[in-house]
Each structure stands twice: as structure tokens, then as C-alpha cells.
């Protein structure tokens, strides 16, 4: 059985936009990297021996249609306006640095034999969409792509994608054109189309709402969202365990990461609030729980008796958990 994590080395980095940096990763022992499919991502652990940061990044893959593979992985990291994980990577990680990475994970798998595939990318969410466009182009499958961003200079891989996709791609600059009309986008897709979207949460919800309005089957809009666990206004709080131990949860780490670093016995898998494995009972709290998962039903959320520790947070000072 393969280990979940292995040691990787940073082989190179380059600046794609003023806020986005691409890192090339290889296995530290020089061995071949595991195979990754379109839509795959990895968990990256960094920030010291204890790996205090754990972040998910999509694997971009080769940038040309005729490149069968590369002896490294590409990930692209957008620097957020807070001194946390992405800032650490931008400021501290240079070629030669060692990191812990997971085996490829694919919860955003691109299906085959679809009548038509619509790809929708928002900002740095273009990274898994790029791999899907390349896969569809290689297979000569019917697809179209809409890539939205603030402006062309802020959009990673835009020139590469235009060469790859040609007239299949629509570029939308929100600074000049405003918010994209996602309902209009869906309304012109061929019957039976399946949409894949990766981008900011509000954009994903807007596409789903447009699909509902047009009576698209819910399963025909598939999405990936990584950043639910971190927001600019997050504040620190403390969590108490069954043993009475108190653990500090900083603004830049998740409950799960803080508990793991303290040696608490926890369960987890997806780390994105989707699988439910990390859902934990709440014993007591002196504030509101900020549920950020996509697993718990509204009734359970309203009761504040359980939370997904991989991504949800607490808006108070002290939270007691059955862990």
C-alpha cells in the first residue's frame, strides 16, 4: 500500500501574473511521479517540520497538446491578501525546497462520452479546467470554455488556452464587461451538456442557480471549490477536547490542522467539507458555528450540534468538541 504523502522537491518556479506563481514539483528521491488524471489535485503540506499548512492545489499538466507527459507536476498558487499559506509559498519557497505532497486525488473527474462539455473557469480556478480542455482536445470531444477574470493580465495561462482552444474559448474580463451572464451561457449550450466549473464560491453558486432556473439536472453541473476553509476575516479561537486540553486555532489554520498538530485523534479524508468523515460532535460553545461544509443538512447545521472540522470555523472564543 502506498503512503499517502511523500517528500517532493521544488524544481522551479515562475511568475504567471502579479498574484499567481507556478511551482514545478518532483519526487525528492528522483523516482517517477504517480499518474494524474484531468481534474486531479494534491494536498501540499509545508511551513516547518510539523507541516502547519495543508492546502489543496490542482495539477495543471503539460501546456501543449503534443506533450505526452512531464517529469514534474505543475501547481499554480494565487497569493491572497493575508499572511498565511499562499503568502508563505510565494515568499519562502524557492527551487530546492522540500515539501510533503499527497498522492493525486480526483474528486472532480472528467467523464467521457458526453454529448457536449462546457468548461467554466473563474480566476485561478482555471488550473483544473486547463487539464480538462487539453484532455477533451486530445480526444477530439465536443467542448467549449468560458474563462472569466478581472482582466487579461491577471488571468493565468490565458494565452496558452487561447492557442489550445481557439474559437471554442470565450474570454470574459469582468473589469471591462462586468459579471458574466451565466444563465445566458447555459441557455445556448447543446441539449444534454454537462458543465464543469472551478472558481470563487459565488460564481459556482451563480452557475448552479442559473442551471436550476433553466431546469438543468443538478448532476449536470459539477464543481470544485478549495477555499471554503479560509476567509480574510477569520479570527483565532480555542477548542477544548474531552480530556480538558485547550488548543489554540489560529486564523490561518483549520480546526483539523490545529487538532492534528496537537496530536488529537481525528478522522479525515477529503478535507474540503464534502465526505463527512471529519464531522465531530459539539459539546458546548459560546458563539455561532460558521458551517462551510457541503455535507451537513440545514437542520443539523441550525442545531449547532455537529461541525466538519476540516473547513468550518467558530465565531466565539471557546468551543468544546467530543474529540
Cell numbers 467549449 correspond to what residue?
144
Instruction: Mention every residue, 6+ apart, whose C-beta is less than 8 A from residue 294.
Output: 228, 272, 273, 274
Q: Which CATH number fits domain 237-321: 3.40.225.10, 3.40.50.620, 3.10.20.30, 3.30.200.20?
A: 3.10.20.30
Domains 117-225 and 237-321 share a fold: no
* Confidence category of residue 3, pLDDT binned at 50, 70, 90: confident
CA 277 to CA 101: how far, in whole Å?
Answer: 21
Label the pairing between strands 221-224 and 306-308.
unpaired
Q: Which CATH class, in words, describes the domain spanning 117-225?
A: alpha beta
Longest dimension (CA), the chain: 61
**DSSP element (H, E) containing 185:** helix 182-187
The answer on pLDDT for 103 being more than 80 is yes
Phi and psi at residue 282, to the nearest 5°: -95, 125
Instruction: Write down the CATH number for the domain with range 5-102.
Output: 2.40.30.10
The answer on pLDDT for 129 being more than 50 is yes
* Confidence category of residue 1, pLDDT binned at 50, 70, 90: very low
* Mean pLDDT of the region 122-150: 96
Averaged confidence pLDDT in the chain: 90
Long-range contacts for 214-220 (Cβ within 8 Å, ≥24 apart)?
A: 214/183, 214/186, 214/187, 216/186, 220/193, 220/194, 220/195
pLDDT digit string, tens, across residues 142-193: 999 999 999 999 999 999 999 999 999 999 999 999 999 999 999 999 999 9
* Confidence category of residue 222, pLDDT binned at 50, 70, 90: very high
CA 280 to CA 301: how far, in whole Å?
Answer: 12
Cell numbers 452557475 correspond to what residue?
207
DSSP string, 254-317: -HHHHHHHTT-----SSSSSSS-TTEEEEEEESSEEE---SSS-HHHHHHTSEEETTT-EEESS
In the chain, domain spans:
5-102, 117-225, 237-321
Amino acid at each position: 500500500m502506498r503512503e499517502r504523502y511523500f517528500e517532493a522537491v521544488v524544481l522551479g518556479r515562475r511568475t504567471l501574473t502579479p498574484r499567481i506563481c507556478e511551482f514545478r514539483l518532483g519526487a525528492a528521491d528522483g523516482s517517477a511521479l504517480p499518474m494524474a488524471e484531468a481534474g486531479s489535485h494534491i494536498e501540499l503540506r509545508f511551513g516547518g517540520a510539523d507541516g502547519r499548512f495543508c492546502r489543496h492545489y490542482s495539477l495543471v499538466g503539460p501546456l501543449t497538446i503534443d506533450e505526452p507527459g512531464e517529469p514534474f507536476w505543475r501547481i499554480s498558487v494565487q497569493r491572497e491578501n493575508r499572511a498565511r499559506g499562499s503568502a508563505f509559498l510565494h515568499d519562502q519557497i524557492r527551487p530546492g525546497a522540500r515539501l510533503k505532497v499527497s498522492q493525486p486525488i480526483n474528486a472532480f473527474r472528467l467523464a467521457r462520452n458526453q454529448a457536449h462539455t462546457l468548461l467554466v473557469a473563474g480566476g485561478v480556478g482555471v488550473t483544473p479546467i486547463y487539464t480538462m480542455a487539453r484532455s477533451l482536445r486530445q480526444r477530439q470531444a465536443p467542448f467549449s470554455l468560458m474563462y472569466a477574470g478581472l482582466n487579461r493580465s491577471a488571468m493565468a495561462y490565458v494565452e496558452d488556452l487561447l492557442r489550445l482552444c481557439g474559437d471554442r474559448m470565450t474570454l470574459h474580463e469582468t473589469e471591462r464587461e462586468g459579471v458574466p451572464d451565466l444563465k445566458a451561457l447555459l441557455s445556448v449550450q447543446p441539449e444534454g451538456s454537462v458543465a464543469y466549473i472551478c472558481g470563487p464560491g459565488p460564481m459556482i453558486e451563480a452557475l448552479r442557480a442559473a442551471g436550476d432556473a433553466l431546469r438543468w439536472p443538478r448532476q449536470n453541473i459539477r464543481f470544485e471549490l478549495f477555499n471554503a476553509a479560509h476567509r480574510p476575516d477569520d479570527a483565532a479561537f480555542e477548542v477544548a477536547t474531552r480530556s480538558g486540553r485547550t488548543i489554540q486555532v489560529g486564523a490561518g489554520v483549520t480546526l483539523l490542522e490545529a487538532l492534528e498538530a496537537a496530536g488529537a485523534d481525528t478522522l479525515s479524508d477529503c478535507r474540503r467539507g464534502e465526505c463527512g468523515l471529519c464531522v465531530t460532535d459539539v459539546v458546548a460553545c459560546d458563539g455561532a458555528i460558521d458551517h462551510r461544509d457541503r455535507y451537513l443538512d440545514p437542520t443539523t447545521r441550525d442545531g449547532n450540534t455537529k461541525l466538519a472540522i476540516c473547513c468550518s470555523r467558530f465565531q466565539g472564543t471557546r468551543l468544546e468538541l467530543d474529540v
